[in-house]
Amino acid sequence: MTGHHHARGRRGFIEQTIDGLHSAMDRAMYADRSASGRGALQQLDPRVKVAGLAALILASAMAAKLWVIAAVLLAALVLAAISYLSIWMIATRVWFATLTFTAAFAVPALFLTPGTIVYTTPGLLWTITSQGLTTAGFLILRSETAATLALVLVFTTPWMHILKALRLFRVPVVFVVILGMTCRYILLLLENAHEMFESRKSRTVGPMTRGEQRRIAIASTGALLSRTFQLSGEVYLAMQSRGFRGEVYILDDFRMQTMDWAAAIGFASLTAALVWVGR
Amino acid sequence: MHIPDGYLSPATCAAFYAGSTPFWYVALQRVKRALHTRLVPLISLFSAFCFLIMMFNLPLPGGTTGHAVGIGLATVVLGPWAAMLAVSVALIIQALFFGDGGITAIGANCFNMAIVGSLVAYVFYRAIAGRSPIVSFRRVVAAGLAGYAAINVSALFAAIEFGVQPLFYKDASGAPLYCPYPLSVSIPAMMIGHLTIAGMAELIVSAGLVAFLQWSDPSLLKATAGNAVALEDSTRRKTRSLQPIWIGLCVLMILTPLGILATGTAWGEWMASDFASPSIRQQIADSSLHQPAPVAVPLGLEQMSQLWTAPFSRYAPPYIRSAGFGYLLSAMFGVGLVMLVCFLVVRLMRGFVVGRPRQPAV
C-alpha cells in the first residue's frame, strides 16, 4: 500500500528526468518550427534581432522605474504578436516558470526590506514595506521581461543564425563553431538520453530505494559519457576526412535590406527613449 | 545558482563580462594551439554533456533531488582551461535558448561556475589526488571533493554578488533596484542549499563518473594526472636520484665506531649498575649541577630495567670481541631494520590506496 502510494504520490526521478528532457526537446522543436514562420521578426536580419532585443533587455535592466520596465514588456508582447507567437504559449512556457522561481526569491523581500510600513499581517505581525513591494516588483517584472525578450529572439530566429550573428559582437570564430557544434549535439544527446531513460522506465517494476535510484542515475550518466566520447571520436574523424586542419570558416551571408535598417533604427530609438525616461 | 536577468545591476553584469573575457581569451588561445587535435569536438560534446547532466535529477540521501553542473568532471577530463570553455558554452546555450540563467548575467554565471569553478576544482583535484596512480581510489575521492568545493565556491561568489547589490543600487524611495538581500542574508541562504543538496549532487556525479572512467577508459583521465603519468615513466630516474643518499648512509655506517671515542654516559641514560660505580656517580653529580646521585638505585628504575634485555645492548653484541666491529654491525642491523619497516608500511599503504589492479587503456 505504501509502495503504491509512494509510486502515485511522488513521481520517481526517472519520470522527472524524462519530463525535463522532453520539454527541452519540445522547446527546440517548437523554436525550429516558429523560426521558419512568416511573422515580422522572422523576416529580419538575425544581427538586427540579436542586437535590438539585447538592447531592450539592457534597457529594462537599467530602468529605475517600474512603468518603464512594464513598457519594455509590452513592446516584447507586441513583437511576439506581430511574429505570430502565441501569447498563451509565452504565458505557460515563460511567465509561469519564471514567476514560480522569482517569487520564491522576491516574496521574503516584502518583509525583509526596511522602509515605510504599508501592511501588517494579522497573526504574526510581519510588516510589509512599500520599498519591499517595489523591490519585489522590480525583480519579478525585470526577469519576466528579459525572459520574454529572449524567448521572442529564440522562437523567431534559427539557432545557427543567432550563433552566427554573435560575430557582430566580435566573438571569436572558434567560439562560435564550438557553440554551434554543441547546439547540434545537445539535440542528439537529448534524444539518446531520452531513449535510455524510456527504456529503463519500461523495465522498472515497483518502487526503487534511493540508493538504487542513485546507482541507476550514475550508471546512465556514465553510459551517456561513453557515448559522448565515442561520438566525439567519430566527429573528429569526420572533420578530418572533410579536410579540417584547424582553420575555421563560416559563411557570413547575411545582407541588410531596407527593412533591416528601418528595424535597426526603430530598436535603437526605442531603447534610447526607454533608457532616457527610465533614469 | 543560474542567476536570472534582473537580479544584478547592469554595472555588475558588465564588470563580470569584462572579468571573464581575459580567461576566455587565454582558454581560446590554448584551444587554438591544440586545434589540430580532437579538442574542438571534445569540448563541444563535453559541453553538450554538461548541459544534459544539469537536467538529470539525482536522488540524494534525505529524500530530495538535485542536479549537478559537471564542473568537477569537466575539469578532471579536459583540464581547467578547456573545462572553462565547455562549461561556459553550456551556460551560454542554456541562457540563450532554454531560458535558464539571464542573458545579462551570462558573464557573472560563467565567471562563477565556469571560471572560478574550474580553477577551484583543478586545485583541489591536483592537491588531493597527488601522485596517486590514475586508477586509484584516491582520485575518485579527489574528484568528488573537487566538485563539491567548486560548486560551493561558485555559490559563495554568486552570494557575494547578490549581497552587494542593495549597498549600491536603490531608487529614490530607498527600495533596492536589484537583489534586495544584504550579505548577511544572501550568503547563508545560498550556502545552506549548496553545502548540502547541490554540493552533494556534484560530489556524487564527479566521483561516480571518475570511477566509471577508471574502469572503462582510464586514458581519459591523463590530462590532469601529469604527476601520476610522470611517476610511472620516471621510476628509473627516481632510483638513480636516490644514489647520493645511499652513499651517505654507507659512509655514516662506517663512521659509527667513532662513537667509542666519546667518554662518559649520556645524561639521563644511566643504568641501574651505574649507581654502584663511584666514578660514574661522580660523573652524574658533575653533570647535574653537583647534585649527588641517590645512594640506592631508584626502585622503579631497578624493576623496569629488568623487563627487557636488548639483543645488541649498548651497541655491542656480547659475542663480538671488537667493540668497533660491534658498533658497525649494530648500525647495519639498525638501518636494515628501519628500511624493512618503512618498506612494509609503504607496501601496506599502496595496497590500501590502489584498491584494484590497473586496467589496460582501451
C-alpha cell at A165: 550573428
Do B41 and A232 contact (CB within 8 A), yes or no? yes
Measured between CB atoms, which of B173, B174, B208 is closest to A218? B208
How large a percentage of chain A has pLDDT more than 90?
6
Instruction: Map out the domains of chain A as residue ranges.
Output: 11-36+158-248, 37-157+255-279
pLDDT in tens, A198-209: 888 888 777 777
Is B48's pLDDT higher than 50? yes
Q: Is B243 on the interface with A (CB under 8 A)?
A: no
Asked if residue B261 is part of any domain, the answer here is no
* Contact between chains at A221 and B98 (C-beta distance less than 8 A): no
CATH code of the domain covering residue B137? 1.10.1760.20
Q: Which residue has the cell 558573464?
A: B107
pLDDT in tens, B215-247: 888 888 887 887 665 545 544 444 445 566 667
CB < 8 Å to B204, chain A: 214, 218
CB < 8 Å to A221, chain B: 53, 56, 205, 208-209
Q: CA-to-CA distance for B188 and B194, rounded, in angstroms?
A: 10
Measured between CB atoms, which of A134, A143, A193 is closest to B6? A143
pLDDT of residue B144: 94
Count up the domains in chain B and report the number: 1
Which DSSP string corresponds to B312-332? TGGG--TT---HHHHHHHHHH
CA A64 to chain centre: 25
pLDDT in tens, B296-324: 777 776 766 666 666 666 666 666 667 77
Average pLDDT score over residue span A107-120: 81
Range of the domain at B179: 10-235
Which stretches of A126-209 are DSSP H helices? Answer: 130-156, 159-165, 173-202
C-alpha cell at A157: 530566429
ipTM of the prediction: 0.83
Measured between CB atoms, which of B44, B55, B98 is closest to A182? B44
Mean pLDDT, rounded, of chain B: 78
DSSP, res B299: H
Asked if residue B143 is part of any domain, the answer here is yes
C-alpha cell at B217: 577508459
A-facing residues of B in 41-80 (CB < 8 A) are: 41-49, 51-53, 55-61, 63, 65, 73
Asked if residue B90 is part of any domain, the answer here is yes
- Of A59, A128, A157, A20, which is closest to residue B97 (Cα–Cα)? A157
Element (H, E) at B91: helix B80-98
B-facing residues of A in 166-185 (CB < 8 A) are: 172, 174-175, 177-179, 181-183, 185
Asked if residue B242 is part of any domain, the answer here is no
Asked if residue B275 is part of any domain, the answer here is no
B-facing residues of A in 70-129 (CB < 8 A) are: 94, 97-98, 101-102, 105, 108-109, 112-116
pLDDT of residue A13: 72
pLDDT in tens, B7-47: 889 889 999 999 999 999 998 888 777 765 667 788 888 88
